[in-house]
Chains A and B, each alone.
Chain A
Amino acid sequence: MKASLRITLIASSLLVICLVSSALALHHLDTMRGRATLDEVLYIPSPKIVKRLSLGYDGLLADIYWTRAVQYFGGKHVVGSRHYEELAPLLEITTGLDPHLTVAYEFGANFLAPHPPNGAGEPERAIQLVDYGIRNNPDDWKLYYNLGFIYYMEMKDYPKAADAFAHGSKVPGAHPFLKVMAAQMAQHAGESQMARMMWTTAYQSTQDPDIRANAISHLRALQVDQDVTNLELLVSIYKDRTSHLPASFAEMQAAGLLPEAPLDPLGHPYKLSPDGHVELQNPDEFPFAQKGIPPAYVPTSPKFLPSDMGGAS
Chain B
Amino acid sequence: MSTRIANIASNTFREAVRDRVLYNLIAFALLMSGAAILVGQISIGIERLVVVNLGLTAVSLFGVVIAIFIGIGLVSKEIEKRTLYTVLARPVQRWEFIVGKFFGLAGTLVVNTFFMAIGVFAALFYVSRGFQRADGWLFIALYFIVLEFLIITALALLFSSFSSPLLSAVFAFSLFVIGSFAEDLRGFAAMAQGGLRWLATGVAYLVPNFSSLNVISSVAHRQPVTAQLIFSNSVYALVYTGMALCGAVLIFERRNLK
Which residues of A are interface residues toward B (Cβ below 8 A)?
A: 52, 55-60, 62-63, 66-67, 70-71, 98, 100-101, 103, 106-107, 208, 210
Taking a contact as CB atoms under 8 Å apart, the answer to whether A52 and B184 are in contact is yes
Taking a contact as CB atoms under 8 Å apart, the answer to whether A52 and B181 are in contact is yes
Contacts of A101 in B (CB 8 A): 46, 49
Contacts of A208 in B (CB 8 A): 44-45
28 contacts between A and B (CB under 8 A): A52-B181, A55-B180, A56-B211, A57-B53, A57-B57, A57-B60, A57-B61, A59-B52, A59-B57, A59-B217, A59-B220, A60-B54, A60-B57, A63-B46, A63-B54, A66-B44, A66-B46, A67-B39, A67-B43, A67-B46, A70-B42, A98-B217, A100-B221, A100-B223, A101-B46, A101-B49, A103-B44, A107-B45
* Bound complex: CA A290 to CA B40 (Å): 33
**Among B53, B211, B217, B223, residue most surrounded by chain A Cβ atoms (within 10 Å):** B217
- A107 interface neighbour in B39, B44, B214, Cβ under 8 Å: B44
Residues A66 and B43 in contact in the complex (CB < 8 Å), given A52-B181, A59-B53, A60-B53: yes
Having A59-B216, A101-B49, one finds 13 other A-B pairs with CB under 8 Å, namely A52-B184, A56-B216, A57-B53, A57-B57, A58-B217, A59-B49, A59-B220, A62-B217, A63-B39, A63-B49, A70-B43, A100-B217, A100-B223
Question: How many residues on chain B are close to A (CB under 8 Å)?
Answer: 26
Contacts of B216 in A (CB 8 A): 56-57, 59-60
Please, which residue of chain A has its CB at the minimum distance from the CB of B222? A100
- Min Cβ gap B211→A in Å is 5
* Bound complex: CA A58 to CA B214 (Å): 10
Taking a contact as CB atoms under 8 Å apart, the answer to whether B44 and A71 are in contact is no
- Min Cβ gap A268→B in Å is 31
Contacts of B180 in A (CB 8 A): 55-56
Which residues of B are interface residues toward A (Cβ below 8 A)?
A: 39, 42-46, 49-50, 52-54, 57, 60-61, 177, 180-181, 184, 210-211, 214, 216-217, 220-221, 223
* Bound complex: CA A56 to CA B184 (Å): 11
- Min Cβ gap B222→A in Å is 10
Taking a contact as CB atoms under 8 Å apart, the answer to whether A63 and B45 are in contact is no
* Bound complex: CA A59 to CA B57 (Å): 9
* Bound complex: CA A103 to CA B49 (Å): 11
Please, which residue of chain A has its CB at the minimum distance from the CB of B183? A56
* Bound complex: CA A98 to CA B219 (Å): 12
Contacts of B54 in A (CB 8 A): 60, 63
- Min Cβ gap A107→B in Å is 6
**Among A57, A60, A71, A103, residue most surrounded by chain B Cβ atoms (within 10 Å):** A60
Residues A63 and B60 in contact in the complex (CB < 8 Å), given A56-B180, A56-B211, A107-B44: no
- A56 interface neighbour in B42, B43, B210, B220, Cβ under 8 Å: B210
Contacts of A71 in B (CB 8 A): 42-43
- Min Cβ gap A77→B in Å is 13
Please, which residue of chain A has its CB at the minimum distance from the CB of B50? A63
Please, which residue of chain B has its CB at the minimum distance from the CB of A209? B44
Taking a contact as CB atoms under 8 Å apart, the answer to whether B46 and A103 are in contact is yes
* Bound complex: CA A203 to CA B180 (Å): 42
- Min Cβ gap A136→B in Å is 11
Please, which residue of chain B has its CB at the minimum distance from the CB of A208? B45
- Min Cβ gap B246→A in Å is 27
- Min Cβ gap A139→B in Å is 12
**Among B44, B46, B52, B214, residue most surrounded by chain A Cβ atoms (within 10 Å):** B44
Contacts of A100 in B (CB 8 A): 217, 221, 223
* Bound complex: CA A305 to CA B217 (Å): 29
Residues A103 and B45 in contact in the complex (CB < 8 Å), given A56-B210, A57-B57: yes
**Among A57, A70, A103, A107, residue most surrounded by chain B Cβ atoms (within 10 Å):** A57
Contacts of B50 in A (CB 8 A): 60, 63
Taking a contact as CB atoms under 8 Å apart, the answer to whether B43 and A210 are in contact is no
Give the 3 A-B CB pairs with smallest separation, nearest first. A59-B217, A103-B45, A67-B43
* Bound complex: CA A98 to CA B50 (Å): 12
- Min Cβ gap B225→A in Å is 14
Taking a contact as CB atoms under 8 Å apart, the answer to whether A55 and B46 are in contact is no
- Min Cβ gap B141→A in Å is 10
Please, which residue of chain A has its CB at the minimum distance from the CB of B177? A55
Taking a contact as CB atoms under 8 Å apart, the answer to whether A70 and B57 are in contact is no
Please, which residue of chain A has its CB at the minimum distance from the CB of B216? A59
- Min Cβ gap B57→A in Å is 5
Taking a contact as CB atoms under 8 Å apart, the answer to whether B39 and A56 are in contact is no
* Bound complex: CA A98 to CA B54 (Å): 14
* Bound complex: CA A98 to CA B223 (Å): 13
* Bound complex: CA A106 to CA B45 (Å): 10
